Amino acid sequence: EDKVVQSPLSLVVHEGDTVTLNCSYEVTNFRSLLWYKQEKKAPTFLFMLTSSGIEKKSGRLSSILDKKELFSILNITATQTGDSAVYLCAVGVQGAQKLVFGQGTRLTINP
Amino acid sequence: DSGVTQTPKHLITATGQRVTLRCSPRSGDLSVYWYQQSLDQGLQFLIHYYNGEERAKGNILERFSAQQFPDLHSELNLSSLELGDSALYFCASSTSADTQYFGPGTRLTVL
């Protein structure tokens, strides 16, 4: 069964800290890995990664994929209270036409 | 705003009833995906339609069904509702295989 596991499940840090969120996966036919941010309602797309070792960056957020070790990390530097959210990792599976989501990491940034 | 619309935003109904949730994808997107998100289960893939045809099924109960119409909007029908069906139901749409954009969701409460 395809599986995506995120860690930690919950993280509380102070504003200005740097955080690293982890996502590991076991799927039959990997196609891509995606990160989403979910605040109060709908998940919003952050990154899609398909190639190992190539960092994707958007402002203070960055992510990288390791297809050999089957994991990805999402880094957030100089965190702000607006970064508080649940961060979801999902894997696209070849031929299955679906995304498999992890449980999410609930990140809380305290002022 | 992702461009995906869902109605209604909230729905409160009783056990045994039937409801219909509606989704309009982003302009130009042919794929529509339905997900269920409950507190203890995370985001669970239900079903995927592409240009009116069912493409993939996830953990969708037999009491649930969906369809995609010629104008590409989609409906998710939930029948014989149980307390455990209370959840957030998301629709997402995409053009590429994996980058899915989520609607605001419908919160279903079954009493």
| B27-49 tens-digit pLDDT | 999 999 999 998 777 889 999 99
| Interface contact flag, A42 B90, Cβ < 8 Å | yes
DSSP 8-state code for residue A50: -
Mean pLDDT of chain B: 93
What is the structure's pLDDT at B79? 97
Q: What are A56's two structure tokens?
A: 């994707």
Decide if pLDDT at B59 tops 90: no
pLDDT band at B97 (very low <50, low <70, confident <90, very high): low
Among chain B residues, CA nearest to A34:
B99
Q: Model confidence over A86-104: pLDDT tens digits?
A: 999 999 988 777 889 999 9
Instruction: Please choose, from the candidates B21, B20, B22, B26, the residue with its C-alpha nearest in 3D space to the C-alpha of residue B4.
Output: B26
Q: pLDDT tens digits for B5-21?
A: 999 999 999 999 999 99
Nearest chain B CA: its distance from A91 CA (Å): 9
User: What amino acid is encoded at A61 in this protein?
Assistant: L
For residue B70, pLDDT over 80 is answered with yes
Mean pLDDT of chain A: 93
Question: Which of A3-7, B59-63, B80-84, B86-90 has the lowest average pLDDT?
Answer: B59-63
Name, of A64-68, A90-94, B95-99, the range with top average pLDDT. A64-68
The answer to whether residues A86 and A106 touch, using CB atoms and an 8 Å cutoff, is yes
For residue A35, what are the β-bridge partners? A47, A89
Contact call for B99 and A44, based on CB within 8 A: no
Q: How far is B50 from A80, CA to CA, in rounded Å? A: 39
A56 touching B, CB under 8 A? no
